[in-house]
Amino acid sequence: GESVGLHLPTLSVQEGDNSIINCAYSNSASDYFIWYKQESGKGPQFIIDIRSNMDKRQGQRVTVLLNKTVKHLSLQIAATQPGDSAVYFCAERGDSSYKLIFGSGTRLLVRP
């Protein structure tokens, strides 16, 4: 499966700053994408999703951008808080399957 071992990319930001987490996906036919947040010892928690017929979707303090041309997904978190510290995963779903394929994850550290 997808993995980068213990060497997860890490993004360190100052509390109150905006964070941008990036993800490259693999299947140009994928039609649905989700961002998950995972805190230590817990299961992945849904943050926001986007369908392939959109290029931007906003939630509370979060925005997801989709660039299908270069198969790139990003998660923007506004006014990052200490509680946002976690590992963030993007997931894609192919148009002919129900299963989600996960990216390798990015660790977000928020400095007080």
Q: Which residues bind other proteins (CB under 8 A)?
A: 1-6, 8, 32, 34, 36, 42-46, 49, 89, 91, 93, 97-105
> Residue 70 or 99: which CB sits closer to other proteins?
99
Question: Token pair for residue 112?
Answer: 């007080």
Min dist. Cβ of residue 41 to other proteins (A): 8
Q: Residue 42 or residue 60: which is nearer to other proteins going by CB?
A: 42
14 versus 45: smaller Cβ distance to other proteins: 45
| Residue with tokens 């926001």, as numbered in its chain | 48
CA-wise closest residue to 2 among 93, 103, 106: 103
Closest separation in Å from C-beta 17 to other proteins: 26
Closest distance to other proteins from the beta carbon of 108 (Å): 15
Q: How far apart are CA 68 and CA 17, in angstroms?
A: 27
Phi-psi label, residue 69: left if phi above 0, alpha if psi -120 to 50, beta otherwise = alpha
